[in-house]
Structure 1
Amino acid sequence: MSTTIIKVNHPLEPLNTAEITIATHTIKKEKNLSESFRFVSVSLYEPSKERVLQFKEGDPIEREAFMTLIDNKEEKSYEAIVSISREKVLKWEHIPDVQPGIMADEFLQCEQVVKNNPEMQAAFRKRGIEDIDLIMADPWSAGNFGIEEEKGKRIARTICWLKTDRFDNGYARPISGLHAFVDLNKMEVIKVVDHDVIPLPPNDGKYTTDGVEKLRDDIKPLDIIQPEGPSFTTNGHEIDWQKWKIRFGFNPREGLVLHTVSYNDDGVERPVLYRASLSEMVVPYGDPGDPVNRNNAFDVGEYGIGMLANPLTLGCDCLGEIQYFDAHLTDSKGNPATIQNAICLHEEDYGILWKHTDFRTEKVDVRRSRRLALSSISTVGNYEYGFFWYFYQDGNVEFEVKLTGILHTKAVLPGEKSPYGNLLAPQLDGPNHQHFFNMRLDMMVDGVQNSVVEVNTESEKSGPHNPFGNAFIAKSHTLKNEQEAMRNMNLESARYWKIINPNKKNWVGEPVGYKIMSGENAYPYAHKDSSLMKRAGFINHHLWVTPYDEKEKYAAGDYPNQHEGGDGLPKWVQQNRNIDNDDIVVWYTMGHHHITRPEDWPVMPTAYMGFMLRPVGFFKQNPSIDVPPSQPKHCDPSSCS
């Protein structure tokens, strides 16, 4: 084949289209793959941490691709590693008894199979639906509930809605009481579940400009202008901004990934993170009725957040002086597929960075905060998730998820109200649910040898040393092993966790560190012996800590789709390995508890949740003290300075 390899400047650069083409062509040829094979994912096979940290500009770079494939005919799944540099298959392994994630073209084929099925068509007509083209059939993962007839099959559940026209919001009219199971290998309906006929809700859910009677006319333009351009520079997928140096990547499963994040402190590049990513997420629903009772979507492992990324548009998703990056993936046949503008990079004003007014001299010092935003947005069926990494001038790193889109809905009878949700509109119910996200943080605070310290605040007992009963102290405890590090938040003790380097001391003699500043969080309400808790055991705890193992990347295991459970973090920590003064990975779980409301309909205003990594003794003083003052734009000329 004649494909020009585009040279890359770093071992962690994501695969480009030329490299993907070589990798998929190589394995098709060497393994003589038939048309029944599908490429579930193709991504960079990341070199070892040791190799990356020792890499110097100009060193030779060996490029390899990691692949997951499935043979629909033989119903077998495979993993492969292909050397792009040598055009050779290095690994080809059958992985028994697993189901890889559901692919985009399977979504579309599954919907058509359901709409073409005679039994489903009869059920639609029974409900007075004649125009099959207006039906939406959303494939949901099947989970694993120990049902014998489902074992060993690659299954999707399809839940149906009806549009009134092509551009209508179909989620306004759920076809409740009817759903189907599809064998994705054979692409055929294997089971139809047809309960009582429930009337369609009467109101539409239009939310576009065509569906709004009158738009607001009192909004004046707000422009973000940087006449000299942005303050960041890029070299491939490496960003230099202020004192930050950030490398990032993108892959089909995790989407946006951070690599080798460091802060320049007085001319010294001080590492903070080696790798950070969304390792898994799960969305459990709280309605016991069929089929909502099986809604437990693992959107990372079952679908692929990267595969579902949006092409972003200037002026809508991001504002200001923007640099976009494309994401290079594959379709299920192994052909390169590019999501244009999948990643957005820009700067934002973020209010006051710091301020003080000396009332004696009337001198005012204030600095505006600016942050760097690196983001992507994915659409998973009805929901949108925005994933935003923010970097601040004072050394803070923040991760934020922005949740929006359209709620999952079901129809209820006139006058009926479910105790497991709330009415969004007449006869339209929004079931209560939760969103749990697990972040894998491969920490590197001033080096790879780190520890985790838990800090709890306690009130001091009354006595001569505390005569007014006001004293409280923060007590620190270093977590020594994996079992000890299975921890949860505690508001009563203002609990937080610090990642420290015990081998590096700051100028007051304390270990340098960063702490996790928690944002919104929640606990799961599913029973401990439920299918959800067996498969998503990572949501049992807000904090987990493991020693670094390059094979341990996903909190629910490598193949959560239809897995019976017990894999991932709950399994790994049974080894109870040392995590003190070691190369460690911190896993942080955060949950959004969503009790639905009419204001979430017809499209949900964005909900925000996340956490922050904040320096604690990492710097000897406020690192943003050198940020220059902003020039005033509007003031009395005699008082401007």
Structure 2
Amino acid sequence: MTTDTTPSAARPSSFGVTHPLDTLTAAEIARAREILVRHGKVGPTTRFPRLLPVEPDKQAVREHTPGADDFDRSVLATLLDTSTGQVSEAVVSVTADTLTSWRDLPTAEPPYGQPPYMFEEYDRASEIVKADPRWQAAMARRGVTDTTHTFVAPLAPGFFPREGETGRRMIRSLTFHRRYEGDNQWAHPVEGLVAHVDLTAGKVVRLEDEGDAPLPLDDWHYTPEHTGPARTTLKPLEITQPEGPSYTVEGTRVRWENWTLRIGFNAQEGLVLHQISFRDGGEDRPVVYRASVPEMVVPYGDPASTRYWISYFDAGEYSLGKNANSLKLGCDCLGEITYFDAVVADDEGHPMTIPHAVCMHEEDYGVLWKHTDPGEPSQVRRSRRLVLSYFATVGNYDYGFFWYFYLDGSIQMETKATGVVFVGAAEPGTDNPYAPEIAPGIIAPVHQHIFCARLDMSVDGPANSVEEENLVGLPTGPRNPYGNAFTYQRVRLARESEAARDAHSESGRRWYVTSANRRNAVGKPTAFQLLPMPGPRLMAQPGSSAADRAEFARHHLWVTAYDPAERFPAGDYPNQHAGGGIAHWTRADRPLTDTDLVLWHTFGPTHIPRPEDWPVMPVDYSGFWLKPHGFLDANPALDLPDRSASDHRPQGADHHDCCE
């Protein structure tokens, strides 16, 4: 541990910060690097694969008053010496101008682990592979001698201990031949060729060449210059808000109708939402303290040598937020849009701005409620939602993360998976149970996209409990004489050992987060319910590398007592890690009654690719809902205006589906 006892204090406002939960600014990232340089921690071969804000203490956040400027702003930096592979972790207070702590990480010892990959390492891996004579010979054997445009994909290796590789900074590379600049880099997979690269040593330590499948060379393009004239049958759909949007933005705080929240963003998780509350009368009542999707895993189900090891952790291995897109009006976002830029650290620790990383807008969502009594005019109120979203591109896939806030007090989280499916090659007509043929000679392995949402709940305050509800059918008898009766049962999940749970469609299983301190008009604890949209859990078998490393994907729900150190469900450094995270934490079996707790909800599609997914995949949707259940005493949308008489917009002009 190294400490600096001669700080030169600065105010957060000098870095453009007005609230403890504000996103990192360019000035703060630059100052953090300056402090590390001053202390001799940055040399010519030092890189910054990870730089995140240190989350402020919850109590300090709750006690913060507008205009106060007396809080600390600190940064957690992971430093990699690319010449030796040494990894270190530093905490830097940019307000105190202090190196608070420093430690070397034992990445060469069990359970190992490496920081996320950096952009510069992708090019470095390609250069190393292309310079290897064995790889050149393997390509020549396939008839390819000009590899100028050939794409060498940099892929996380998973964890499969091998002599000379374990504890090293490794990357595996598969090859996709590109015939010319602008060719689809995923369309021509070189089957059976795997390069195992030691990034620190700068060499291919092992090359596998087991494939004799022909190299598919058909044209598969999806850009306008190749797909022909665009259709002309779609008529214009105009979205206008002549009086502007209904929300207000003050710094990172957003107010929209009854909702208030703060927007955050960091390089690993991407979009983070803080202090979500719902206004009830004259009171802003807390619902969620912090919400994010801090990890996802993409395990492949193909046992072939080129794919059995694939189980990407797109946040922990590749940094989802750092890979965020700059969104474009009319393409990613449509209508009256407010954008938020994101600032992250580049590979050398300098601030890097991602313009328009987050999109915010309103959109119509059809009917919210409606009723018609005989002889009376219909009463109809339309729904509207606030949308906060961002997209990240990691290799072949593009992921959209959308948070929706509704007028009835509901919150929806939706992910949109699109991009290009990961493919291999086979003899045309091959029947492969693990990788169906989606185009002549092109196979796409079965795989899963399992997201994990972290919901740090605060339903009417931090003292919460969780109950599981199941529908129960009653056998015909004295309690059900007509055979029609059914009821529901709720069970308290009192400890972490009881709170690793799975969705169950037949019983309509859902989970309630209840308040210890507040009751509603009918005397019940106020609550929000988590409604899953269940899909398969992790298909990898217990004891497999994927199952050990992606513990969170074994169950649809985990509940843990709040611990500020537990932010990433697969651990802080899942890259080349033997396994750890949420299942290890719950061995403590902490009590969960009337306490500060966190819900971890896993969800996502299991993908058996189809021809219609090629050469670019239509969006695949997944997600979940948080809905008030006795949190409010009545429908909170009774006071919505009746638009039937005053609004005469053309049919269809008031319904928009944006950011697609």
Please classify the TM superposition score into its range, dividing by the shorter chain length. Answer: over 0.9
Confirm whether residue 270 of structure 1 aligns to residue 273 of structure 2: no
How far does residue 196 in structure 1 lie from its aligned partner after superposition? 3.2
Correspondence for 2:520 among 506, 517, 523:
506
Alignment CA distance shift 1:506-1:72 (3 Å)? same
User: Which residue type is aligned with residue 193 of structure 1?
Assistant: E
Alignment correspondent of 1:159: 174
Measure, in 1, the Cα distance between the counterparts of 2:211 and 2:440. 19
Alignment correspondent of 2:440: 426
Secondary structure of the residue that 1:619 maps to in structure 2? coil
How far does residue 111 in structure 1 lie from its aligned partner after superposition? 1.7
Confirm whether residue 547 of structure 1 aligns to residue 561 of structure 2: yes
Alignment correspondent of 2:426: 412
Correspondence for 1:63 among 73, 81, 86:
73
Measure, in 1, the Cα distance between the counterparts of 2:147 and 2:460. 60
Alignment correspondent of 2:110: none
Measure, in 2, the Cα distance between the counterparts of 1:332 and 1:341. 21
Spell out the pairing of 1:167-246 with structure 2 (5 A cutoff).
167-246=182-261
Measure, in 2, the Cα distance between the counterparts of 1:79 and 1:625. 53
Structure 1 unaligned blocks of 5 or more: 637-641
Alignment correspondent of 2:27: 18
Alignment correspondent of 1:595: 608
Secondary structure of the residue that 1:148 maps to in structure 2? coil
Measure, in 2, the Cα distance between the counterparts of 1:333 and 1:635. 53
- State whether residues 358 and 388 of structure 2, in contact with CA within 8 Å, keep that contact through their aligned partners in structure 1: yes
Measure, in 2, the Cα distance between the counterparts of 1:381 and 1:96. 29
Alignment correspondent of 2:388: 374
Alignment correspondent of 1:142: 157
Measure, in 2, the Cα distance between the counterparts of 1:117 and 1:198. 22
Alignment correspondent of 2:82: 72
- Give deviations 1:88-121, integer Å, cap 9, x for gaps: 1111111112311111111122122222322212
Correspondence for 1:337 among 339, 345, 352:
352
Alignment correspondent of 2:654: none
- State whether residues 202 and 426 of structure 1, in contact with CA within 8 Å, keep that contact through their aligned partners in structure 2: no
Alignment correspondent of 1:610: 623
Spell out the pairing of 1:328-367 with structure 2 (5 A cutoff).
328-358=343-373, 360-367=374-381
Spell out the pairing of 1:58-137 with structure 2 (5 A cutoff).
58-59=67-68, 60-97=70-107, 98-137=113-152
User: Which residue type is aligned with residue 69 of structure 1?
Assistant: L
Spell out the pairing of 1:19-58 with structure 2 (5 A cutoff).
19-58=28-67
User: Which residue type is aligned with residue 577 of structure 1?
Assistant: R
Measure, in 2, the Cα distance between the counterparts of 1:93 and 1:32. 11
Secondary structure of the residue that 1:420 maps to in structure 2? coil
Secondary structure of the residue that 1:513 maps to in structure 2? strand
Measure, in 2, the Cα distance between the counterparts of 1:614 and 1:335. 41
How far does residue 32 in structure 1 lie from its aligned partner after superposition? 4.0
Measure, in 1, the Cα distance between the counterparts of 2:91 and 2:590. 29
- State whether residues 14 and 43 of structure 1, in contact with CA within 8 Å, keep that contact through their aligned partners in structure 2: no
User: Which residue type is aligned with residue 120 of structure 2?
Assistant: D
Measure, in 1, the Cα distance between the counterparts of 2:341 and 2:517. 40
Spell out the pairing of 1:397-546 with structure 2 (5 A cutoff).
397-546=411-560
User: Which residue type is aligned with residue 157 of structure 2?
Assistant: A
Measure, in 1, the Cα distance between the counterparts of 2:41 and 2:121. 23
Q: Which moved more, 1:230-239 or 1:118-127?
A: 118-127
- State whether residues 520 and 592 of structure 1, in contact with CA within 8 Å, keep that contact through their aligned partners in structure 2: no
Secondary structure of the residue that 2:476 maps to in structure 1? coil
Measure, in 1, the Cα distance between the counterparts of 2:96 and 2:590. 38
- Give deviations 1:303-327, integer Å, cap 9, x for gaps: 1100111111110001111011111
- State whether residues 298 and 560 of structure 1, in contact with CA within 8 Å, keep that contact through their aligned partners in structure 2: yes
Secondary structure of the residue that 1:112 maps to in structure 2? helix
**Which aligned runs of 4 or more in structure 1 are off by greater than 6 angstroms?**
1-4
How far does residue 572 in structure 1 lie from its aligned partner after superposition? 0.6
Measure, in 1, the Cα distance between the counterparts of 2:354 and 2:156. 24
Alignment CA distance shift 1:31-1:634 (3 Å)? closer
How far does residue 615 in structure 1 lie from its aligned partner after superposition? 0.3
Alignment correspondent of 2:3: none
Q: Give the TM-score, by structure 2 length.
A: 0.94
How far does residue 616 in structure 1 lie from its aligned partner after superposition? 0.2
Alignment CA distance shift 1:470-1:273 (3 Å)? same
- State whether residues 514 and 613 of structure 1, in contact with CA within 8 Å, keep that contact through their aligned partners in structure 2: yes
Secondary structure of the residue that 1:286 maps to in structure 2? coil
User: Which residue type is aligned with residue 532 of structure 2?
Assistant: S
Q: Say how many residue pairs are matched.
A: 634
- State whether residues 16 and 25 of structure 2, in contact with CA within 8 Å, keep that contact through their aligned partners in structure 1: no
Alignment correspondent of 1:575: 588
Confirm whether residue 310 of structure 1 aligns to residue 336 of structure 2: no
- State whether residues 429 and 437 of structure 2, in contact with CA within 8 Å, keep that contact through their aligned partners in structure 1: no
User: Which residue type is aligned with residue 471 of structure 2?
Assistant: T
Correspondence for 1:283 among 287, 293, 298:
298
- State whether residues 171 and 205 of structure 1, in contact with CA within 8 Å, keep that contact through their aligned partners in structure 2: no
Measure, in 2, the Cα distance between the counterparts of 1:523 and 1:635. 45
- State whether residues 430 and 437 of structure 2, in contact with CA within 8 Å, keep that contact through their aligned partners in structure 1: no
Measure, in 2, the Cα distance between the counterparts of 1:216 and 1:442. 46
RMSD over equivalenced CA pairs, Å: 1.7
- State whether residues 312 and 342 of structure 1, in contact with CA within 8 Å, keep that contact through their aligned partners in structure 2: yes
Secondary structure of the residue that 1:21 maps to in structure 2? helix
Alignment correspondent of 1:622: 635
Alignment correspondent of 1:639: none
How far does residue 362 in structure 1 lie from its aligned partner after superposition? 3.2
How far does residue 520 in structure 1 lie from its aligned partner after superposition? 4.1
- State whether residues 542 and 589 of structure 1, in contact with CA within 8 Å, keep that contact through their aligned partners in structure 2: yes
Q: Percent identity?
A: 44
Secondary structure of the residue that 1:47 maps to in structure 2? coil
